[in-house]
Amino acid sequence: MKCYRCNSQLDNSDYCLKCGADVSVYKVVVKASNTYYNQGLEKARVRDLSGAAESLRTSLSINKKNIKARNLLGLVYFEMGEVVMALSEWVVSKNLKPERNVAEVYIKKVQDNPNKLEVMNQAVRRFNISLKYAKEGATDMAAIQLKKVVAMNPKLVKAGLLLGLLLWKDGQTERAKKCFQKVLKTDRNNTLALRYISEIDGTVSDEDTDTEVIFKKKKKLGNITDNVTGHDVIIPPNSYKEPSNGIFTVLSILLGVVIGAALVWYMIVPAKISSVNYENKQIVLDYSEQLAANSVDMANLKSQIDTLTTERDNLSRELSGYTGENGESNMYSLLIDAADAYVDYDFAQALVLLQKIDVALLPTQAAKNVYNTMLESCSGGADRFYSQGTKAYLEKDYISAANYFEAALIYDETNDEAAYYLGLCHEENDDKAAAAAYYEDFLTKFPQSGYVPDVTARLAALNAVLNPTTEAGTQEDAQQTDETTAADTQQ
């Protein structure tokens, strides 16, 4: 025995030699618990399972840390068909003592045979259904389910007792007695089974006693005429008969036929009808049993289908939340593209991408912070972007300035200064084709602007560089036109 406080070995003293704790009461508790454990072990060896379970429960109520008693109680429950209660006891035992505990072996053996475990669980579910039927008064349906339960798990004591009671109530005494005897094969000292068998035997013996008394009375009355002494005169029976008439003979025959027909009609026919009705009833019971089994199976299948359908819908919603158009994956992709455009100073494209993002769908706070930072930086308005572009232009950062001017035009398309400087940025950046395109767009959109002369001159210079042949042809045509005009004037 070990100390409950320091886990050191104890001797015959009432105090722990290591920590000094008072262990006198603790020793009494442990000894009492071990005594009930020994009683339960002895009863379990002779298959008195109900008595063993009672003793082991008492042992655990005294000392809940008695691992041996808890493991043995789990074995007793398992032998009585109570798989769930057995697993519960073994799991508690494993939690109390994780190391070197035989309960772990028991749990592994049960879990290694999932088919048997499923059959036992199915038997327990059917027992609950039959118990519900019995409480509602549907004893036939309850008996049908209990027969299946006993066939699936013969060691389930509760099912055998309930089936025996239902058969006894239905008047099937012998079959009920057999059910109780099967229970006693599993639990030899089950008090309920012994009590039911005793009551059945008492009822049958009372009926046999009444029949025997009636038979003895009849026999006694019949033996009165057999007591003849030697002084009595025996008169032989007269064998003379009057000659019978033919009419009486015919009448006697007809009467015998009528009586025989009546006997057949009133005795044999009802028995035959009863036999046919009994057979029909058995057929109906068999079909009812099959229908009940099919209904239970269909209910289980329907429940499984509903569960799988719900799981499928949930997974579909989760998948659409990740991969759909408004899913987290798409939001992340848009945020990354916006960040890429923002890093390249393409604030206009960054702003367009940010407007497509639903910030509520971003899963992390870091992503939301990045979104808010870029949105605040890109949403300053036309004046802010124009001022930033002007600053970048003066610093000769023409690429950043072009991006700022484009963002300013997104907010204010009538800003001719931003459009003018956008063309200048591309021209200074030696992108002549883009500059020419922006100048042409400027002349189209802002024909009344004060920058039109300068833009026109710059566009002509760019066109001369980009299309020198076309420009030379144009000058020759202009020279010829001037000469023709001068000649006409002289004439």
pLDDT at 490 over 50: no
Determine the pLDDT at residue 71: 92
In a domain, residue 171? The reply is: yes
Residue 160: CB atoms within 10 Å:
28
Reported as a pLDDT band with limits 50, 70 and 90, residue 7 is: low
3-state secondary structure of 22: strand
Q: What pLDDT score was predicted for residue 58? A: 92
Q: Is residue 129 part of a domain?
A: no
The Cβ of residue 86 has, within 10 Å, a number of other Cβ atoms equal to 23
Mention every residue, 6+ apart, whose C-beta is less than 8 A from residue 441: 419
Give the pLDDT of residue 72: 92
Rounded to whole angstroms, the Cα distance separating 467 from 215 reads 141
Of the ranges 132-141, 312-321, 340-349, 361-370, the best mean pLDDT one: 132-141
List Cα–Cα distances, 388 to 376, 394, 395, 397, in angstroms: 15, 10, 11, 11
For residue 89, the one-letter residue type is E
Claim to verify: residue 250 and residue 213 sit in the same structural domain: no
Last residue of a domain, one of 217, 236, 264: 217
Q: Are residues 255 and 170 in the same domain?
A: no
pLDDT of 356 over the 80 cut: no
Assess whether 108 and 139 both reside in one domain: no
Q: Are residues 89 and 169 in the same domain?
A: no
**Residues 354, 375: contact at Cβ < 8 Å?**
yes
Q: Is residue 234 part of a domain?
A: no
Model pLDDT, residue 345: 65
- Count the neighbouring beta carbons within 10 Å of the beta carbon of residue 23: 22
pTM of structure = 0.41
Share of the chain above pLDDT 70, in %: 76
Question: Is 480 inside a domain boundary?
Answer: no
| 156 and 192 share one domain | yes
Burial of 384 per CB tally in 10 Å (0-12, 13-18, 19+):
middle
Within this chain, do residues 469 and 388 fall inside the same structural domain, yes or no? yes
- Contact predicate 7/18, CB 8 Å: no
- Domain assignment present for residue 362? The answer is no
pLDDT at 471: 46
Same domain, 158 and 102: no
Mean pLDDT of 283-312: 82
pLDDT bracket for residue 381 (50, 70, 90):
low
Within-domain flag for 330: no
C-beta atoms surrounding 128 within 10 Å: 12
Residue 256: domain span: 246-323
pLDDT higher than threshold 70 for residue 22: no
Token pair recorded at residue 448: 């009344």
Please, what is the average pLDDT of the chain? 77
**Does 333 fall in a domain?**
no
Same domain, 414 and 451: yes
| The domain boundary residue, chosen from 323, 339, 359 | 323
Q: At residue 23, does pLDDT exceed 80? A: no
pLDDT at 219 over 70: no
CATH of the domain at 427: 1.25.40.10
Whether 319 maps to a domain, the answer reads: yes
CA-based nearest residue to 159, from 146, 168, 143, 172: 146
**How many structural domains comprise the chain?**
4
Residues in the chain: 491
Section 218-235 average pLDDT: 45
Tens of pLDDT, residue by residue over 413-462, are 788 888 888 888 888 888 888 888 888 888 888 888 888 888 888 888 88
In the prediction, which pLDDT does 225 show?
A: 43
pLDDT at 144: 87
pLDDT in tens, 125-174: 888 888 888 888 888 888 888 888 888 888 888 888 888 888 888 888 88
> Above 50 in pLDDT, residue 106?
yes
CA proximity to 84, closest of 120, 132, 130: 120
DSSP 392-433: HHHTT-HHHHHHHHHHHHHH-TT-HHHHHHHHHHHHHTT-HH
Residue 312, exposed/middle/buried by CB under 10 A (0-12, 13-18, 19+)?
A: exposed
